[in-house]
Structures are given as structure tokens and as C-alpha cells.
Amino acid sequence: MSSASRPTTWLVTGSSRGIGFELVRQLVASSDNLVVAACRTPDKATALKGLKASAKGTLHIVQMDVSDFDSIRASAKQLEPILGEIGLDYLINNAAVASRDLPFALDPEELLQLMRTNVAGPAVVSQVCLPFLEKSVKKIILHISSTAGSLGSTSWIGAGYTSYSMSKAALNMLTLKQKAERPDLTLITLCPGPVKTDMNTENGQLEPEESVAGILKVITSVTAEDSGKFFSHDGKTIPW
């Protein structure tokens, strides 16, 4: 395939609702993009299937449960016929879960589940997608994080969301470790802001459309010099 006809390729996890769905919706609005939408249960992703019906072949839906490592690894067979020839430009690790626990009352099993989904999942997704990223010129990975995982921010200082905050801090460290191992990739972590989603019913302030427009502006503007940075959806740098 010639470079002139090659689309810009994207893979978004957790794409059936919330920020993930809005990312896919905005991306498929351009025929220059080829989008792989990964979600846990494609058969139930009604809105996502509606997008695919109108996307004229630029949207592919694959099954991927980021809390199930076998599911992630099995997705490689689905990705090969889509990305095997052209590679993957942008990987957005968006899928996540949250809880409102307190540090002296947290359930260790729930903590481990959040770490599995929010940290280990993106790590394995990155491993599976690495061969496709290596075929791209851009080679960009975005981990959707949160200021809840920032040790240097004041806005999230408080006892709530302990396991979630711990998982996002660990995801931020994953970004730095991946950068150290693979300086040829561009890796960033980003907080989408207080978005109105099913996972953030109490604190949501931003509409998904506004947050995602900012996310896409940031990710399409980063350079190799930005690798390892922690951004907000409006492009500001967040302290680690």
C-alpha cells in the first residue's frame, strides 16, 4: 500500500461507551482514519455497531476484555488481517474501572482487580500491539490516566478512590518504564478531566465531546520529545 493511500490507524480499548466511544465517534468522522474499536462484548455494543454501519469500512470492532489476559492475547488474530500490513499509528489504552474505597477500609481483592484492569491490562495490550506499532512511523501509545494518580497534584488529595488512585499512579509509572525500554516509541499518559460518563456520575463536569476533542489534539501534536510526559486534556502538563 502506498503512503499516499495509507490511512492513519488507531486502536481504542474500552470503546463501547464513555470516553472510548466518543474517541471512536470523532475518529471515524474522518475517512483518513482506520479505527479498531476494542470492547468486552461487541454483541451488546449497539451504539458502536451503529457507528460501524455508517463508517464505510473504516471501523473494525474486535473483542477484547482488558481484565482477561488470554482475551487480550487472542485479539492478535483479529488484529492481524486489519493491521498486519499497514501497522498501528496510535494505541489508546482507555479501558478502566473505578471504586470509591477508603485506605483503611479497602478490599484487597478489589484493589487487585483494579490493578489487573487498569495497569496489567494496558501493559499486555501494549505487548500485543507492539509488532503492529513497530510497522508504523508514528508509534504512539496513550495511556488514559487521571490526576487521581498524580502525587504532585492537590486536587485529588483526600482519602477517597484509594485503589483507583493507586492504579493510575502505577499506570503512570508503566508509561515511564515503557519509554525507558523503547525510546523509539512515543508514550504519554493523559488525564481526560472530570468527564460526564457512567463511571463518573458524581464529579462529571466536562462533556465527552469536549474532553475527547482535547485528547485528540494533544495526541496528534506530540513529538518524540514529549515521550514520558503527563498531560491534561487541554495540553497542560500534570505533575507526577
Record: fold of 8-232: Rossmann fold (3.40.50)
Residue 24 contacts by C-beta under 8 Å, 6 or more apart in sequence? 12, 15, 35, 37, 48, 51, 59
- The string of pLDDT tens digits covering residues 6-37 is 999 999 999 999 999 999 999 999 999 999 99
Distance between CA atoms of residues 209 and 93, nearest Å: 18
- The string of pLDDT tens digits covering residues 109-149 is 999 999 999 999 999 999 999 999 999 999 999 999 999 99
Residue 165 contacts by C-beta under 8 Å, 6 or more apart in sequence? 146, 148, 149, 156
- The string of pLDDT tens digits covering residues 152-210 is 986 766 788 999 999 999 999 999 999 999 999 999 999 999 988 665 556 667 899 99
What's the whole-model pTM score? 0.94
**166 closest CA partner among 113, 125, 93, 234:** 113
Give, in degrees to the nearest 5, the angle at Cα 23 between 18 and 26.
125
